[in-house]
Chain A
């Protein structure tokens, strides 16, 4: 599947395209299939997102899991600061990244 990501303009936070908006949690990312270029061009020119790009992912346990580790780290947060990730309470979450 192809999902879209970028950074929020104001905060720089990693965001994912949920079909109508840019959201923090990758669980809400949708497969944009062949529409990636069109969505990114429209959203970037509307200044709604910073440097969007398409990510190849695999649906795993119902959630898009990016194929490249860089995007998995982006989705979660730094692996060396679990307290600063999006799921600080989940001790197993590091396994999702690695």
Chain B
């Protein structure tokens, strides 16, 4: 994986010292909160319901064991022994003290990590496919391109004060595992008819208050123009994106209001201008970055497992993903135990995952946007030993992409913007569907919960989505059906009037039952919904 050069390290170290000084001035009373807030947000430090919260960037979700150990140490030393993996492939800590913030950033910098651009109206941490570099179906590893974009976007002076935050995802397979078309810019690395690699640009997607699916604005940008084209997309947005109304300031609104065709025309015009400016990094730089992402030395070995232990066999079936080398798989560590808090991991669990990555996965881990962890390169013959260690630590839940594998944002238990709690719903739903035995029968069913319209829990993209709303000071929940963040991206629709906390759990079961009674051979929940439409679900829910 990528290793900092002296410039990366110097930038991050300088930022640590700068923020240490800023925090001290705040502690000394020399800065007001109004003055300090934009400074702390530039360093990922939020003020949430109970304390400061620090969001740490995990570029394109890739970590090594040393970094994961460091994250665990931070949880232990400065927080309350746990961290929360987020839907942006980051980690956040909920109980941070301002007086510790400088030391934490220094600890992160020591392992080539930081919290820069995890907040504010800038280009945020670039996300990618969590199986990148391992997936059997990818064209190339998308991470070198994500890394190039990271370097270009870090501290980019022109884009530090965009109209709103800006999120980019990069993938390199037709299967979308990164919700690419629900980003401000989604890039798919593709091959043209001549066999050359290039980038296909989708611009203007997003969730939140006004969810939109990004249209494709250019099918093929040569790789030696990747940054220039990205810069053109950003520049048009920076110039014309609305700054008068934060709810209309995302690029999706600009693309929608101009129309994709007109936005594209303006981007192409800017692109033509920029091509003459020589802003593209030399292609040799991409070559240099690629050397950090070469395959580890895969070795031939067993291609099947001993399935005599049914619990192990179930975990293998559910939680492993096909690898490009047939003696390996990518193994998903579920952070969704039944009744647990989605995405939370204790310091001990983080240490264990780090150790297992070292023992079984060439020292690599990935954070999934679905709030689980991946060991990308595990030898099939090591799977039983890996599963045994995970299971003993409560990390062996076999529920990948099942109804218990719920995305839930922190909601009103932690988040100052929330309308309603998300986590208790996730806990009740996973318990309900384990107790009634329906999780097995339901097959793939992606359920996503957000505590407010900001949609950090991706509720618009859930096969079943839940949105928390505030009904005169009482939590209320809207049910949505039919969303997808995969290559068949679609936006879920609201079923009708909302439900109470217990009512929404019943409503999810009712919707699941409609599917079970109506599904045809091989259909997932989403397929059945698309075939039969909303009406039968509404009928069952509201009579």
Q: Do A and B interact with each other, yes or no?
A: yes
Interfacial residues, chain A to chain B (CB-CB below 8 A): 7, 9-14, 44, 46-47, 50-51, 67-70, 73-74, 77-81, 84
Bound: A46/B98 CA distance, A:
18
20 A–B contacts, CB within 8 A, in A order: A7-B47, A10-B99, A11-B51, A11-B52, A11-B97, A12-B50, A13-B51, A51-B47, A69-B412, A69-B473, A69-B474, A69-B475, A70-B49, A70-B412, A70-B418, A73-B412, A74-B50, A78-B94, A78-B413, A84-B80
Give chain A nearest CB distance to B342 CB in angstroms.
10
Bound: A12/B27 CA distance, A:
12
B96 pairs with A12, CB closer than 8 A: yes
A50 pairs with B413, CB closer than 8 A: no
Give chain B nearest CB distance to A53 CB in angstroms.
11
Give chain A nearest CB distance to B93 CB in angstroms.
11
- Quick one: CB contact mask for B42-60 with A, threshold 8 Å, 1 for yes? 0000011111100000000
Bound: A50/B474 CA distance, A:
26
Instruction: Choose one: B29, B32, B96, B413; the contact of A80 (CB below 8 Å).
Output: B413
Give chain B nearest CB distance to A13 CB in angstroms.
6
Give chain B nearest CB distance to A45 CB in angstroms.
8
Bound: A68/B50 CA distance, A:
16
Contact stretch, chosen from B121-129, B183-191, B297-305, B419-427: B419-427
B475 pairs with A14, CB closer than 8 A: no
Give chain B nearest CB distance to A84 CB in angstroms.
6
Are A47 and B29 CB-contacts (below 8 A) given A14-B49, A80-B341?
A: yes
Instruction: Choose one: A9, A44, A73, A79; the contact of B27 (CB below 8 Å).
Output: A9
Bound: A81/B51 CA distance, A:
15
Smallest CB-CB A-B distances: 8 pairs: A12-B51, A47-B29, A12-B52, A78-B413, A80-B423, A11-B97, A68-B473, A80-B413
- Quick one: CB contact mask for B317-328 with A, threshold 8 Å, 1 for yes? 000000000000
Q: Chain A residues near B220 (CB, 8 Å)?
A: none
Are A7 and B51 CB-contacts (below 8 A) given A47-B32, A70-B412, A80-B423?
A: yes
Q: Is B33 an interface residue (CB 8 A)?
A: yes
Which residue of chain A lies nearest to B49 when distances are taken between CB atoms in the complex? Answer: A74
Bound: A51/B33 CA distance, A:
7
Bound: A77/B423 CA distance, A:
14
For the A-B complex with A47-B29, A77-B50, A79-B421 known, give 14 more contacts whose Cβ atoms are closer than 8 Å: A10-B27, A10-B97, A10-B98, A12-B51, A12-B98, A47-B32, A51-B47, A69-B412, A69-B473, A74-B50, A80-B341, A80-B424, A80-B427, A81-B341
B413 pairs with A73, CB closer than 8 A: yes
Q: Is B414 an interface residue (CB 8 A)?
A: yes
Give chain A nearest CB distance to B266 CB in angstroms.
40
Are A13 and B98 CB-contacts (below 8 A) given A73-B412, A79-B424?
A: no
Q: Chain B residues near A9 (CB, 8 Å)?
A: 26-27, 98
B473 pairs with A67, CB closer than 8 A: yes
Q: Chain A residues near B413 (CB, 8 Å)?
A: 73, 78-81
Q: Chain A residues near B98 (CB, 8 Å)?
A: 9-12
Q: Chain B residues near A74 (CB, 8 Å)?
A: 49-50
Give chain A nearest CB distance to B335 CB in angstroms.
14
Which residue of chain A lies nearest to B99 when distances are taken between CB atoms in the complex? Answer: A10
A78 pairs with B50, CB closer than 8 A: yes
Bound: A13/B412 CA distance, A:
16
Give chain B nearest CB distance to A97 CB in angstroms.
10
Bound: A7/B52 CA distance, A:
9
Give chain A nearest CB distance to B531 CB in angstroms.
37
Q: Chain B residues near A84 (CB, 8 Å)?
A: 80, 95
Q: Taking each of A7, A14, A68, A80, which has the highest tally of chain B beta carbons within 10 Å of its own beta carbon? A: A80
Give chain B nearest CB distance to A5 CB in angstroms.
11
Give chain B nearest CB distance to A4 CB in angstroms.
16
Bound: A73/B423 CA distance, A:
13
Give chain B nearest CB distance to A10 CB in angstroms.
5
Bound: A11/B33 CA distance, A:
14
B97 pairs with A73, CB closer than 8 A: no
Bound: A14/B96 CA distance, A:
13
Q: Chain B residues near A12 (CB, 8 Å)?
A: 47-48, 50-52, 95-98
Which residue of chain B lies nearest to A74 when distances are taken between CB atoms in the complex? Answer: B49
Q: Chain B residues near A69 (CB, 8 Å)?
A: 412, 473-475
Bound: A9/B27 CA distance, A:
7
Which residue of chain A lies nearest to B26 when distances are taken between CB atoms in the complex? Answer: A9
Are A78 and B80 CB-contacts (below 8 A) given A10-B97, A10-B99, A69-B473?
A: no
Give chain B nearest CB distance to A91 CB in angstroms.
16
Which residue of chain A lies nearest to B48 when distances are taken between CB atoms in the complex? Answer: A12
Which residue of chain A lies nearest to B32 when distances are taken between CB atoms in the complex? Answer: A47
Bound: A67/B413 CA distance, A:
16
Bound: A69/B267 CA distance, A:
47
Q: Chain A residues near B52 (CB, 8 Å)?
A: 11-12
Q: Chain A residues near B29 (CB, 8 Å)?
A: 46-47
B80 pairs with A50, CB closer than 8 A: no
Q: Chain A residues near B427 (CB, 8 Å)?
A: 80
Q: Chain A residues near B423 (CB, 8 Å)?
A: 78, 80
Q: Chain A residues near B474 (CB, 8 Å)?
A: 69
Which residue of chain A lies nearest to B413 when distances are taken between CB atoms in the complex? Answer: A78
Are A73 and B47 CB-contacts (below 8 A) given A10-B98, A50-B33?
A: no
Bound: A7/B418 CA distance, A:
17
Instruction: Choose one: B33, B97, B414; the contact of A78 (CB below 8 Å).
Output: B414
- Quick one: CB contact mask for B20-46 with A, threshold 8 Å, 1 for yes? 000000110100110000000000000
Bound: A41/B535 CA distance, A:
54
